[in-house]
Amino acid sequence: MPFSRSNLIVALLFMAFAFLSLPKLASSQGVPWHVVPLPIPGGFVDTMTGKIHIEIPLASFPQRNSDPLALTLIYDSDRFVYSGNSSGFVRTGPGWQLNSGTGHSGNGFMGSSTTQACPSGFPNGSVSIYSQPSFTDSHGTTHVNINSHLYTKQVNCYTTSGTPYGNGSDIASFTGVAVDGSGYIFNVLNYSQLRVTSPDGWLVYDSTGASGFQWPSDTNGNYIEYA
C-alpha cells in the first residue's frame, strides 16, 4: 500500500504529540562552543564529556526569502553526575526533544531571579533582582550572559505607614552579550522583559510585547506567521 502525503502528515503529527508528551529537563547540551566532536550518523559524540547529540530532520517547508520551516527530532544523551547540593546523583541532559521552527527559532528567559531585604526604615516589601538572560537556539544550545555587574533592580519598599522608598536606586534595564562568543545580544527592559538578537541581526526572541509574536524576524522585519 503506497504511503500517501496525508498518511505522512498524520504520522508526523502523531510523532510530534508522542514526543511532546515526554518529560523534559531544563538542562541542555546542543552544540556548545567548547564541544570536541567525534562524528556519528546524524550527529556527534563530544569527546570531552561523552555526551551524544543527534538531529533527525522530519520535515522541511521552504519559505520565501527566509529560513525553511522545519520539524526536527533532537537527542541529547542523559547522564548522571554527583551533586553536592543534594548529596547524590542527579540526571542531566534533556533526552529526546521535538523542535519546530526556523534556524533562528528558540526560546529566551531570565536565568536568575532573587529578592533582597528592603533598606533600613522600610520594613515592608522587597527588592527584586533579575540577571543572567539566556537563549536556547534551534539546536538546543543555550547561550547565556553571566556578568555580576549586569542586572536590574526594582525597589518596592514602604514604611509601616505606607510611605514608599522611591525608585531612585532602581536599575530598569541593561544590555549584555553571550559569554560563549556566539554573538547573541541580550536587551533586558522594564526589569525582566527580554529581547534577544542573533549574531546576524535577527530578532529571535521578544517578551516585551513590542513586536507581538512577530519573531524571529530578519533585519528587514520579515517574519513567518503561523496560520
What pLDDT is attached to residue 25?
33
Enumerate the domain spans of the chain: 5-101, 108-206
**Which residue stretches of the chain have pLDDT < 70?**
1-28, 65, 78-93, 225-227
What pLDDT is attached to residue 82?
64
What pLDDT is attached to residue 219?
87
Show the cell assigned to 190: 522594564
What pLDDT is attached to residue 98?
87
pTM of the model: 0.75
